[in-house]
């Protein structure tokens, strides 16, 4: 699973490297102000209100992808996504933040939506890499049908923690424990990517259920992208103290009692896998951060 996924991410990064350099534009109202198409049969849809939607497509030939025009060193990212409908087994729809230099020391924050046969819930697979070290998988069953309407998926990444939210409800928190020797993505800027790709060797029930290509093309829809973050530059490291000042996400934690309760509810009701409780994978001792969360 890890090798196939790594090859996919490298392919996305290679495709982006072959593009002409585009001057970053932030804060625009249109998707095209902030995002650019990488490859595949990707459509840009415009509604009567002038709002834009990116439709990523997957067929037997290839998937499709986009990326943000800007890299960030800490940010809040929000995206509305409507996932592949009907039989989506074998497909993976992703949004992820990733650094773009040395793969062996890269940082990454993943939200991967693993397709399933009709009538079955989607699995949201999350992972965090820091300094090339990953393996921090936590999975959830989505408690709604993500193919009927768009839902908002968010990442808050600041120097203290990473929060992953669904419809503004926190489901995962990963705190910065660098002082305890736990790697945390704090030094490298990251860019957002969105991809739709075939991963039927592992995505659905561990690869048991394969992609039904008679259902192709598969389509996922992305809209209402917003990014509030520190753009790398002179003031990036002191985010909030210079022209790249951050918003309330910069020092945001789960101080709100309601959100703390929501996080516990998500973990109790919807979490189906947590690497910090996988004794088969870690028979001797769990990763250090598991006892610090």
Q: How far, in Å, CA of 153 to CA of 255, rounded?
A: 20
Contact residues for 55 (Cβ-Cβ < 8 A; gap 6+): 42, 43, 44, 45, 219, 220, 221, 222
Which of 100, 112, 133, 137 is labelled catalytic? 112
What is the DSSP code string of 200-217?
Answer: TTTTTGGGTSPP-GGGPS
Counting Cβ atoms within 10 Å, is residue 115 exposed (0-12), middle (13-18) or buried (19+)? buried
C-alpha 206, offset from chain centre: 20
133 is catalytic: no
Question: How far is Cα 58 from Cα 129, in angstroms, rounded to an integer?
Answer: 26
Contact 292, 177 (CB under 8 A): yes
Which residue shows structure tokens 């009538």? 119
For residue 106, give Cα distances in angstroms to 101, 117, 231.
Answer: 7, 33, 18
Active site residue 112: yes
CA distance 237 to 230: 8
Q: Please answer whether residues 70 and 231 qualify as being in contact, where contact means their C-beta atoms are separated by less than 8 angstroms.
A: yes
Beta bridge partners of 78: 154, 226
| Annotated catalytic residue, options 36, 108, 137, 289 | 108
C-beta atoms surrounding 19 within 10 Å: 12
Residues assigned a catalytic role:
108, 112
């Amino acid at each position: 699973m890890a090798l196939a996924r790594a090859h996919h991410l490298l392919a996305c990064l290679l495709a982006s490297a072959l593009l002409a350099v585009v001057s970053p534009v932030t804060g625009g109202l249109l998707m095209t102000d902030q995002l650019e198409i990488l490859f595949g049969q990707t459509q840009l849809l415009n509604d009567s209100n002038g709002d834009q939607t990116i439709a990523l497509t997957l067929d037997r030939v290839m998937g499709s992808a986009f990326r943000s025009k800007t890299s960030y060193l800490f940010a809040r990212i929000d995206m509305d996504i409507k996932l592949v409908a009907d039989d989506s087994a074998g497909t993976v729809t992703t949004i992820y933040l990733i650094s773009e230099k040395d793969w062996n020391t890269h940082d990454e924050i993943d939200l991967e939506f693993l397709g399933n046969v009709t009538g079955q819930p989607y699995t949201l697979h999350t992972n965090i890499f820091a300094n090339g070290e990953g393996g921090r998988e936590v999975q959830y069953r989505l408690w709604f049908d993500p193919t009927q309407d768009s839902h908002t998926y968010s990442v808050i990444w600041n120097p203290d923690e990473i929060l992953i939210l669904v419809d503004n409800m926190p489901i995962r928190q990963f705190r910065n424990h660098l002082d305890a020797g736990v790697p945390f993505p704090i030094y490298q800027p990251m860019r957002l990517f969105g991809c739709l790709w075939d991963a039927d060797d592992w995505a659905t029930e561990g690869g048991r259920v394969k992609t039904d290509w008679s259902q192709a093309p598969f389509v996922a829809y992305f809209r209402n992208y917003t990014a509030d973050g520190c753009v790398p530059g002179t003031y990036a490291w002191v985010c909030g103290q210079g022209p790249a000042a951050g918003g309330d996400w910069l020092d945001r934690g789960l101080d709100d009692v309601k959100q703390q309760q929501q996080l516990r509810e998500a973990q109790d009701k919807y979490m189906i896998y947590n690497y910090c409780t996988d004794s088969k994978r870690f028979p001797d001792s769990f990763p250090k951060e598991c006892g610090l969360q």
